[in-house]
Amino acid sequence: MVRDDIIEYSLDGHHSEEHGQKIRKKIWKVTALLSIVTIIEVAIGWVLPREAAGGLESWGWFGVEVIYMVLTVLKAAYIILVFMHLGDERKALRRMILWPYILFILYLVFILVTEAYHVGDAWMNLH
């Protein structure tokens, strides 16, 4: 049975096999990079669960949380660059779009984490 849903790059007038190889290489690169960052995030959550982190004082655990959040924000920025084709734009436009969002997200995360620590301390003082 012959499949008609497979695109053969050499048959298209504006695509060559080299172009198809370049696209496939980029897809594998994106997949590998996002997989590696996700594996690192899962490893952080698996190796350092909150209860087993007794050796880490509160600021040490805060550092682990910050590393996890930065990795997540970087992964989101990379997804925006690749899948929304922002990476094809000029460097100034990329920065103008990404930096305010990244800074705003990090600010919100900072507020959430610091407030969570204060609420946790307040709950501990009640009991």
Q: Using one digit for the tens of pLDDT, what is the confidence trace for 72-125? A: 888 988 888 888 888 778 888 888 888 898 889 889 988 988 888 888 787 888
Residue 53 DSSP label: -
Q: Is 98 left (phi over 0), alpha (psi -120 to 50) or beta?
A: alpha
- Render 83-120 in DSSP notation, one character per residue: HTSGGGS-HHHHHHHHHHHHHHHHHHHHHHHHHHHHHH
pTM of the model: 0.60
